[in-house]
Amino acid sequence: MPSAAASRASWTKKVIDERRALYTRADGGFNADAFAADLSSARSKVALSLAIFPGSLNLVFLVGFFKADGVSAALDAYELFLQQASANLALWSGM
Protein backbone atom coordinates (compact mmCIF):
# COMPACT_ATOMS: atom_id res chain seq x y z
CA MET A 1 0.00 0.00 0.00
CA PRO A 2 1.55 3.34 -1.02
CA SER A 3 2.07 5.97 1.60
CA ALA A 4 0.46 9.40 1.53
CA ALA A 5 3.77 11.01 0.56
CA ALA A 6 4.14 8.61 -2.36
CA SER A 7 0.64 9.34 -3.65
CA ARG A 8 1.27 13.08 -3.42
CA ALA A 9 4.53 12.64 -5.33
CA SER A 10 2.83 10.65 -8.10
CA TRP A 11 -0.01 13.18 -8.33
CA THR A 12 2.54 15.99 -8.57
CA LYS A 13 4.45 14.12 -11.27
CA LYS A 14 1.20 13.57 -13.18
CA VAL A 15 0.37 17.27 -13.04
CA ILE A 16 3.90 18.18 -14.07
CA ASP A 17 3.71 15.84 -17.05
CA GLU A 18 0.35 17.30 -18.10
CA ARG A 19 1.68 20.85 -17.87
CA ARG A 20 4.84 19.90 -19.75
CA ALA A 21 2.70 18.39 -22.51
CA LEU A 22 0.97 21.75 -22.97
CA TYR A 23 4.29 23.31 -23.96
CA THR A 24 5.41 20.51 -26.27
CA ARG A 25 4.76 20.59 -30.02
CA ALA A 26 3.78 17.48 -31.98
CA ASP A 27 7.38 17.08 -33.16
CA GLY A 28 8.64 17.16 -29.53
CA GLY A 29 9.94 20.74 -29.64
CA PHE A 30 9.12 23.61 -27.31
CA ASN A 31 5.84 25.42 -28.03
CA ALA A 32 6.92 29.01 -27.49
CA ASP A 33 3.52 30.45 -28.48
CA ALA A 34 1.65 28.50 -25.80
CA PHE A 35 4.28 29.42 -23.23
CA ALA A 36 4.12 33.12 -24.18
CA ALA A 37 0.32 33.10 -23.93
CA ASP A 38 0.41 31.51 -20.46
CA LEU A 39 3.18 33.85 -19.36
CA SER A 40 1.15 36.86 -20.51
CA SER A 41 -1.87 35.56 -18.62
CA ALA A 42 0.21 35.07 -15.47
CA ARG A 43 1.65 38.57 -15.75
CA SER A 44 -1.81 40.11 -16.04
CA LYS A 45 -3.00 38.14 -12.98
CA VAL A 46 -0.01 39.36 -10.97
CA ALA A 47 -0.62 42.95 -12.07
CA LEU A 48 -4.30 42.67 -11.14
CA SER A 49 -3.52 41.22 -7.72
CA LEU A 50 -0.96 43.96 -7.06
CA ALA A 51 -3.54 46.56 -8.04
CA ILE A 52 -6.19 45.08 -5.75
CA PHE A 53 -4.19 44.34 -2.61
CA PRO A 54 -2.01 47.45 -2.15
CA GLY A 55 -4.54 49.53 -4.04
CA SER A 56 -7.27 48.78 -1.53
CA LEU A 57 -4.95 49.57 1.38
CA ASN A 58 -3.90 52.81 -0.30
CA LEU A 59 -7.55 53.74 -0.68
CA VAL A 60 -8.15 53.14 3.05
CA PHE A 61 -5.13 55.29 3.98
CA LEU A 62 -6.18 58.01 1.54
CA VAL A 63 -9.68 58.18 3.04
CA GLY A 64 -8.17 58.30 6.54
CA PHE A 65 -5.75 61.02 5.45
CA PHE A 66 -8.59 63.24 4.25
CA LYS A 67 -10.83 62.41 7.24
CA ALA A 68 -8.04 63.43 9.65
CA ASP A 69 -7.47 66.67 7.71
CA GLY A 70 -4.07 65.49 6.57
CA VAL A 71 -3.82 68.13 3.87
CA SER A 72 -3.68 71.02 6.31
CA ALA A 73 -1.31 69.07 8.59
CA ALA A 74 1.01 68.44 5.64
CA LEU A 75 0.88 72.09 4.60
CA ASP A 76 1.59 73.19 8.19
CA ALA A 77 4.56 70.81 8.35
CA TYR A 78 5.84 72.18 5.03
CA GLU A 79 5.53 75.76 6.28
CA LEU A 80 7.39 74.85 9.48
CA PHE A 81 10.11 73.20 7.39
CA LEU A 82 10.51 76.34 5.28
CA GLN A 83 10.73 78.53 8.40
CA GLN A 84 13.36 76.27 9.95
CA ALA A 85 15.36 76.10 6.72
CA SER A 86 15.26 79.88 6.47
CA ALA A 87 16.42 80.25 10.11
CA ASN A 88 19.25 77.75 9.52
CA LEU A 89 20.32 79.58 6.39
CA ALA A 90 20.43 82.88 8.26
CA LEU A 91 22.44 81.24 11.06
CA TRP A 92 24.91 79.58 8.70
CA SER A 93 25.41 82.66 6.54
CA GLY A 94 26.26 84.71 9.64
CA MET A 95 29.17 82.45 10.60
pLDDT given for residue 85 in this prediction = 96
Whether residue 68 is contained in a domain is answered as yes
Residue 63 belongs to domain spanning: 7-93
| 2 part of a folded domain | no
Model-level pTM?
A: 0.45
pLDDT tens track for 30-89:
999 999 999 999 999 998 888 888 778 888 999 999 999 999 999 999 999 999 999 999
For residues 83 and 91, what is the distance between their CA atoms, to the nearest angstrom? 12
User: CA-to-CA distance for 76 and 61, rounded, in angstroms?
Assistant: 20
81 in any annotated domain: yes
Overall domain count for the chain: 1
Please determine, for residue 95, whether its predicted confidence score (pLDDT) is greater than 70: no
- Which residues, including other chains, have CB under 8 Å from residue 25's CB and lie 6 or more apart? 31
In a domain, 1, yes or no: no
Burial level of 38, CB count in 10 A (0-12/13-18/19+)? Answer: middle
Confidence category of residue 3, pLDDT binned at 50, 70, 90: low
Residue 30, helix vs strand vs coil: strand
